[in-house]
Amino acid sequence: MFANLSWKIIHQVLNETIAELMDEHQTLDVPTLRERLLEMAESESDELMVLCYWQASKVLTRLPPTVTASQLIEEARVAYRTPLNHDPL
């Protein structure tokens, strides 16, 4: 059922969450991002997407209270073993 859960989906979820913060050097508030991911999961009916939001939120637990978007995406890459030469998302 969850065979399609991949690093690409997790990255898309994280990218959706920080879409309004286009500058990759802008500081992001991690607790606010986690709260937003949980809100998105609660309003989602697709079980796969709920799991994606939960997994994306899990990435944030290892981060300091504030990070840049590039730090967040790098942590997601490491956490989900994203190939270094992956297609841009």
pLDDT of residue 24: 57
pLDDT of residue 42: 93
Those residues whose C-beta lies under 8 Å from the C-beta of residue 31, and which sit 6 or more positions away, are 65
CA–CA gap between residue 82 and residue 89 (Å, rounded): 12
> pLDDT tens digits for 41-81?
899 999 988 888 888 888 888 889 998 877 877 777 777 66
CA–CA gap between residue 25 and residue 65 (Å, rounded): 15
Per the document, the length of the chain is: 89
Is pLDDT at 89 greater than 90 in this prediction? no
| Every domain of the chain and the residues it spans | 7-79
Residue 27 in 3-state DSSP? strand
> pLDDT tens digits for 15-27?
777 665 556 567 8
The sign of the CA dihedral 38, 44, 47, 49 is negative
